[in-house]
Chain A
Amino acid sequence: MNLNYLDFEQPIADLQQKIEELRFATQGSEVNLTAEIAALEGKIVQLTEQIFANLTPWQVAQLARHPQRPYALDYINGIFTEWEELHGDRHYADDPAIVSGVARLEGRACVVIGQQKGRDAKERVLRNFGMPRPEGYRKALRLMKMAEKFQLPVMTFIDTPGAYPGIGAEERNQSEAIARNLFELSRLRTPVIATVTGEGGSGGALAIGVADVVMMLQYSIYSVISPEGCASILFKSASRAPEAAAAMRVGAQDIYNLKLIHEVIPEPLGGAHRDPAAMIASVKARLVEHLERLVQRPMTVLLHDRYQRLMNFGAYEEPQVVTHLKAVG
């Protein structure tokens, strides 16, 4: 089993293996297998298209968590110039699970905030698997307020399993840290664009996700609780996460259909990690286009629309209230 591939991608991995074997066999020999290899490559594309056309929500969740998926710093380095990371919440600590700083998008200065996961074992621990503590959210808030002060737009990149459920995090009031960001983002006097690039894990994701434009990558997820968490509570076993993922409709396309986000950004064939450069380029293009539009808008209109969008969230029914109107005169 090739660990660079998810279980449902194994048929693709098998073909890839065959190609490599052929390449190895023809190395330094007279035999020319170029045509055969090209045919197999064509087959890989076909097979990948087939598999990716019918992904289950759980398969999408696995892609969203893929260890080779581009992370916040990959997007930041690929999209912005003059990135300068700024550290710490000025009260307690610097939380490496959230990176934040200033940078330029096509020349325009911005504040950038993202949840960062680690690539290898050591970095994963350092980044706490992308699970921020209160000081991470408070660092983000400090940067948001600075963005407002200096009229810099804010771009956020969401990719977290959730806010860290730890003893220290509770002692320093994780709840308040998240709540405060929701409160302040709803009225922040500068354009905000949020992009879910991987896992949108509950309140820990939303705390940097209240924005004028919210986008999700095609194979990213967003939900009120992790599929495993939902499964262990409602389905009585964490192993039923695939069912929970489907029930909660965690995938980007479902969430777009429910009108909860603005846009789904298509991913390269096989997912963002198969062609990070192409993925980063299309995210950049979407950010540039939205930002151009948002900065044109008067602040009152921007804030009014952001507020109205938040107020419209919800699905409920209300029996018609019967009002008796007295005839005048």
Chain B
Amino acid sequence: MSWLDKISGSRLLTEGVRRKSVPEGLWTKCESCQSVLYRAELERTLEVCPKCGAHRPIGARARLHHFLDPEPRIEIAAGIKSVDPLGFKDSRKYTERLSEAIEDSQENDALIVMRGQLMGLPLVTAAFEFSFMGGSMGSVVGEKFVRGVNTCLDHGIPLVCFAASGGARMQESLFSLMQMAKTSAALAKMHERGLPFISVLTHPTMGGVSASFAMLGDLHVAEPNALIGFAGPRVIEQTVREKLPEGFQRAEFLKDKGAIDLIVDRRDMRERLYKLLSMLTHFKPPLAA
């Protein structure tokens, strides 16, 4: 056997082995630093690149799973589903888009709300599923958010919401717009009861979500480099006809401008929010009491 045969033979063998034991998607590339990353490790690091710290999108259920204590967890208003109040149709029917989103995401809509505990501190946590129609807020998202608030009011516990949304859901037009008023009004009740609301702004938080409950937190926490704003960068560029400043509408920019309190790495979210919430609620861990 010549050396050439040895090399090509071994390469063929390697490829064959790889095809068998390394299934599609075991490795992935960081969009930010181009490093090749091991999927299992990314899951451990909550979808944060271990090389450069870039925050990749994370699904709502994974987010809640990592944020809340394993027990107890009660999902709030899991069953409610969107209807099509306007009979909306563009290139496709809204009802078709909904069915597809439900099938792809295995979720009923773009927001998941759970009552649970954070290191023993009881709270309600809501998280947006961005893959469900861009995390857009329609009637169901608004209603679920309000049910979450009502649970907080019933039990005198705080609310944390992880936002990731393109804004209001166009297919429900004015019904969607009114969810901005509805969610904001519910938060006024939290305020009057002296219950904390921490709004965590993740990539991206825009439009009607940004311009309602997401900007009404006692504390505004953002993940690094998250895009946060009212109007989308493209719309602004078209309106003002000038180049947008470097880092415009990114979390760091908002912190400089005074819109948010702090930027927190996803991997530290549990500890940091626990620390903040335990101070705001005068919480004493049961064991230390």
Contacts and interface: CB of A to CB of B under 8 A. Distances in A.
Q: Which of A183, A229, A243, A321 has the largest number of chain B CB atoms within 10 A? A: A183
Nearest to A222: B174
Nearest to B183: A182
Given A173-B259, A223-B177, A310 B85 contact: no
A174 interface: yes
Given A223-B173, A248-B86, A315-B172, A186 B179 contact: no
Interface in A289-329: 307, 310-311, 313-319, 321
Interface stretch (B40-48, B51-59, B88-96): B88-96
A235 B90 contact: yes
Nearest to B260: A173
A178 interface: yes
B202 interface: no
Q: Size class of B's contact patch?
A: 35 or more
Nearest to A243: B90
A165 B146 CA distance: 28
Given A224-B173, A313-B175, A319 B181 contact: no
B69 to A, nearest CB: 25
B185 A183 contact: yes
B154 to A, nearest CB: 15
B125 interface: no
A254 to B, nearest CB: 9
Interface residues of A, number: 57
B188 A224 contact: no
Contacts of B91: 234-236
Contact of A169 (B82, B185, B230): B230
Interface in A146-181: 163-167, 169-176, 178-180
B174 A314 contact: no
A314 B183 CA distance: 11
Contact of A249 (B173, B213, B248, B254): B173
B245 A167 contact: yes
Given A179-B216, A316-B140, A307 B185 contact: yes
A192 to B, nearest CB: 12
Interface in B195-251: 207-208, 210-216, 228-232, 235-236, 239-240, 242, 244-245, 248-249
Contacts of A185: 181
20 contacts: A164-B239, A166-B240, A169-B230, A172-B257, A175-B215, A178-B180, A179-B180, A179-B213, A179-B215, A182-B181, A187-B188, A187-B192, A223-B177, A224-B173, A224-B176, A224-B177, A258-B85, A311-B146, A315-B83, A316-B140
